[in-house]
């Protein structure tokens, strides 16, 4: 789907106090950004931010960073962020493949991947956020007991992930083809897409991976 560009979006993002500019300069110093040593959780492809902002609101003891490549989508998240009185969440407009240049080894405790682009063509497989190439990036920045949580409505992408994640040297701790009717539903926070798909009766798949 082609995103409609919003004039001035890039400038508004650059001027926002909630967006980290030049995040590579914060590598190994994220505790200074947040003013504490609380664990850091990242959502890759946060969209309009419903999921990660709800987590930040209910878990003040955790620091959250939302990553979104597209400025038009990021702007919508910022409009929501400005209405919240939170000190434990920031955003970055970067490509997730560069995260090892932004975080030191072990600096991140958890990574959320929610309703990522499926990149259905085989020649684009390496762009999938659960591909061995991306799992290698996560391995570089996650703490020893860190984990990756992945949700999708795309069964093809999920089936691929059930194979690609172990092939990358990770262990699938738990998984389900129908999240909302499983034990994994406890404590689940829904994204915008998830709310829409659930209302349509579409099953949501989820897996949690560790090293």
CA–centroid distance for 70 within its chain: 14
User: Is residue 88 within 8 Å of residue 58, measured between CB atoms?
Assistant: no
Task: Encode 26-48: b = buried (16+ Cβ within 10 Å), e = exposed.
Answer: beeebeeebeeebbbbbbbbbbb
122 labelled catalytic: no
From the list 95, 117, 145, 159, the catalytic residue is 117
CA–centroid distance for 151 within its chain: 10
The angle, 0 to 180 degrees and rounded to 10, between the axes of the packed helices 50-58 and 192-199 is 110
Joined together, the tokens standing for residue 21 give: 């500019």
* DSSP E strands, 126-204: 142-152, 171-176
User: Is residue 63 within 8 Å of residue 88, measured between CB atoms?
Assistant: yes
User: Is residue 44 within 8 Å of residue 111, measured between CB atoms?
Assistant: yes
Q: How far apart are the C-alpha atoms of 147 and 108, rounded to whole Å?
A: 9
Neighbouring CB atoms inside 10 A of 165's CB total 22
Residues that are catalytic: 117
């Amino acid at each position: 789907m082609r995103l409609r560009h919003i004039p001035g979006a890039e400038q508004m993002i650059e001027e926002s106090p909630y967006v980290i500019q030049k995040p590579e300069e914060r590598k190994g110093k994220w505790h200074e950004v947040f003013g504490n040593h609380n664990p850091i959780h990242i959502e890759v492809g946060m969209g309009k931010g419903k999921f990660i902002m709800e987590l930040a609101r209910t878990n003040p003891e955790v620091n959250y960073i939302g990553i979104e490549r597209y400025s038009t989508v990021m702007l919508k998240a910022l409009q929501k962020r400005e209405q919240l009185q939170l000190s434990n969440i920031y955003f970055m407009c970067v490509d997730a493949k560069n995260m090892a240049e932004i975080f030191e080894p072990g600096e991140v405790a958890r990574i959320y991947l929610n309703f990522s682009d499926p990149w259905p063509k085989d020649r684009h497989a390496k762009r999938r956020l659960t591909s061995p190439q991306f799992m290698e990036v996560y391995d570089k920045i996650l703490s020893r007991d860190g984990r990756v949580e992945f949700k999708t409505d795309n069964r093809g992408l999920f089936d691929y992930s059930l194979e690609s994640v172990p092939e990358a040297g990770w262990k699938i701790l738990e998984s389900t083809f129908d999240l909302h009717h499983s034990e994994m539903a406890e404590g689940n926070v829904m994204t915008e897409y998830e709310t829409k798909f659930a209302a349509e009766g579409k099953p949501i798949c989820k897996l949690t991976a560790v090293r």
